[in-house]
Amino acid sequence: MSLAEATATLTAPGANFEMETITIQGISTRVWKNALPGLDALLDLSRTHGERLFTTLDDQRISYEANWRATAALARAFFQMGVRKGDRVAFAMRNLPEWPVIFFAITTIGAIAVPLNAWWTGAELAYGIRDSGAKLLIVDTERHARLAGHLDALTELERVIVARATEPVAGATALEDIVGVPGNWADLPDLPRPQVELDRDDDATIFYTSGTTGSPKGALGTHRNLMTNILSAAFSAARSFLRRGELVPEPQPRTTLTVIPLFHVTACSAILMGAMAAGHRIIFMRKWDTVQAMEIIEREKVNMTGGVPTIAWQLIEHPDRAKYDLSSLEVISYGGAPSAPELVKRIREEFGAMPGNGWGMTETMATVTSHNAEDYLNRPESAGPPVATADLEIRADDGVTELPTSTVGELWARGPMIVKGYWNKLEATAETFVDGWVRTGDLARIDDEGFLFVVDRAKDMVLRGGENIYSSEVENVLFEHPAVTDCAILAIPHRTLGEEPAAVVHLAPGTSASEAELQEWVRARLAAFKVPVAIRFVADTLPRNANGKILKKNLKSLFTSIK
């Protein structure tokens, strides 16, 4: 069945994926007619899964009912603390059962959840707290320790809550004093959660991304953005069945091993939202370890995993893989980093599982295109076709002219998943969000069947294992070193991570600095994943074009020996 035929069947009047056209922020927008109205409705729907396991971490096994009770209790506490609709509440922690509790306790009372990158340094975390204007902060002990030297300067914060502290933390409230430990959530009283009137297009989240220049930007997402992804994922799966000539089966709860951080829209929007609607079980790991992952897959009969290509490669290539029964795996999907066509075939051959991929960004609250099953096997270099509520265009440099099929240009996208804009950054919002479209900065083409092929990404960005590294941020830190007078950050290929950052540096005459010294300089100021894996020193200043921009493509040959 063709894409058009499958879409027409699935979106017909009365069908589960029926669409309608409404006005959002003055823009006529095609939406899923049957999408849930908001995160409050999703939370209540998730409670109907009852005692089915929702989240698992080590020996902590949390049911949907227990999760609902903890969320309701925390939402009541937030309300008693004075958190109201539109207030920002920031939180930073590793993937814990507390994460979705905190997220939904914030958003179901109309406040705006600000999930901060748990890999950030203290200074980076402080920036996100300050920029969002958060009045409340929830962190685990590791993030609290990182922020130790910054908290006194964060004067807008009214309260700090710390999770999983082994002893009292001065100036902070223990999360366990509010909701207890996860193992006891099922015993919390069955009391109603606060009821706040919410609109589908109310602000719900600020996820931080970065641009090629300046500081990180907070993408302001809505309840509709997040609810859209639930039906988008289900639509993509159903489309795969029709494409191969099969009836769409009734959805069944699955077990997924989620190893990508929930502070990314991929995990929060594309995975968590759908899991709660369908009753899936989500298993967390404290830290990725291939052997431990295989043990979990075998013991818990995991059906789905992935996140970034790195995960799939490490499972495929581990020398002890044959010792584990991984036959329960049905899908290994990923995004966030370039993947080799070879990986797509290997997933099917080695595990008997179907590969999955897609394209999205923080500004699109994750899923815009989805690439599954045989379509992905047949087009391993594609990011897949858009979901039915999304439109894609390839435009010329003028940002207006739509280019012909199979022509490379800048990718533009629109649909109900596109965020409102950037938090408190009107100029950046105006540059990126135009009449309902987001200009992605990605270079891409679309073939005659509607499949997207991304040929290059936003300028000056390195995508390392799903983490965005913006060149200007690292370059600015290098420029702070007294010996550095010119530098550039480049993306160099890496087989499993997709890309890694490398630097080209010109030192001031009469000064010296080693590769290790400059790497340590960056490591002291930025998250570890942003540190250049290699540094090349050049005698002259770096080549530039007439506009003064560094010709980075002329420098990549310096790293041909890096694998």
The DSSP bridge partners found for residue 115 are: 91
Six token digits for residue 118: 């748990």
The amino acid sitting at 176 is: E
3-state secondary structure of 4: helix
Residue 508 has pLDDT above 70, yes or no: yes
Write down the pLDDT at residue 75.
98
Mean of all residue pLDDT scores within the chain: 92
Same fold, 39-198 and 461-559: no
Write down the pLDDT at residue 338.
59
Between 32 and 443, residue with greater pLDDT: 32
Write down the pLDDT at residue 557.
87
Range among 268-277, 461-470, 537-546 with highest mean pLDDT value: 268-277
pTM: 0.87
The amino acid sitting at 493 is: P
Residue 326 has pLDDT above 70, yes or no: yes
Q: What percent of the chain has pLDDT over 90?
A: 75
CA–CA distance from 369 to each of 287, 344, 388, 451 (Å)?
29, 17, 9, 9
> Can you tell me the distance from the alpha carbon of 82 to that of 215, in angstroms, rounded to the nearest whole number?
30
Mean pLDDT value across residues 426-454: 94
Mean pLDDT value across residues 266-276: 95
Residue 344 has pLDDT above 90, yes or no: no
Write down the pLDDT at residue 476.
81
Residue 354 has pLDDT above 70, yes or no: yes
Out of 47-61, 102-116, 452-466, pick the least confident: 452-466
Write down the pLDDT at residue 212.
44
Q: Which residues contact 462 (CB under 8 A, 6 or more apart)?
A: 468, 469, 470, 471, 489, 490, 491, 499, 500, 501
Any idea of the CA torsion for 129, 130, 132, 137, to the nearest 10 degrees?
Answer: 30
The single-letter DSSP state of residue 135 is: S
> Can you tell me the distance from the alpha carbon of 396 to that of 84, in angstroms, rounded to the nearest whole number?
44
In tens, the pLDDT along 380-414 reads 889 999 999 999 999 998 999 999 999 988 999 99
Mean pLDDT value across residues 359-374: 92
Between 110 and 339, residue with greater pLDDT: 110
Write down the pLDDT at residue 549.
63
Tell the CATH topology of 39-198. Rossmann fold (3.40.50)
Instruction: Confirm or reject CATH 3.40.50.1000 for domain 461-559, answering yes or no.
Output: no
CATH of 3-34+220-456, one of 1.10.10.60, 1.10.274.10, 3.40.50.12780, 3.40.50.880: 3.40.50.12780
pLDDT band at 334 (very low <50, low <70, confident <90, very high): confident
Write down the pLDDT at residue 547.
47
Write down the pLDDT at residue 222.
98
Residue 160 has pLDDT above 70, yes or no: yes
Write down the pLDDT at residue 3.
93
pLDDT band at 434 (very low <50, low <70, confident <90, very high): very high
Which of 429, 392, 398 shows the shortest CA–CA distance to 411?
Answer: 392
Write down the pLDDT at residue 337.
57
> Can you tell me the distance from the alpha carbon of 455 to that of 80, in angstroms, rounded to the nearest whole number?
51
pLDDT band at 554 (very low <50, low <70, confident <90, very high): confident
Out of 182-196, 301-315, 438-452, 518-532, pick the least confident: 301-315
pLDDT band at 553 (very low <50, low <70, confident <90, very high): confident
Q: Which residues of 54-78 are buried (b: 16+ CB within 10 A; e: fewer)?
A: bbbbeeebbbbbbbbbbbbbbbbbb
Write down the pLDDT at residue 341.
74
Write down the pLDDT at residue 498.
87
pLDDT band at 364 (very low <50, low <70, confident <90, very high): very high
> Can you tell me the distance from the alpha carbon of 315 to that of 292, in angstroms, rounded to the nearest whole number?
11
Which of 488, 439, 486, 489 shows the shortest CA–CA distance to 463?
Answer: 489
In tens, the pLDDT along 11-28 reads 999 999 999 999 999 999
Mean pLDDT value across residues 223-241: 96
Write down the pLDDT at residue 298.
97
| CB atoms closer than 10 angstroms to residue 381 | 14
In tens, the pLDDT along 477-492 reads 998 899 998 889 999 9
Out of 185-194, 406-415, 539-548, pick the least confident: 539-548
Write down the pLDDT at residue 316.
87
Six token digits for residue 184: 């006891």
In tens, the pLDDT along 27-76 reads 999 999 999 999 999 999 999 999 999 999 999 999 999 999 999 999 99
Residue 297 burial (C-beta neighbours within 10 Å; 0-12, 13-18, 19+): buried
Write down the pLDDT at residue 363.
96
Q: What percent of the chain has pLDDT over 70?
A: 96
- Domain edges within the chain: 3-34+220-456, 39-198, 461-559
Write down the pLDDT at residue 220.
98
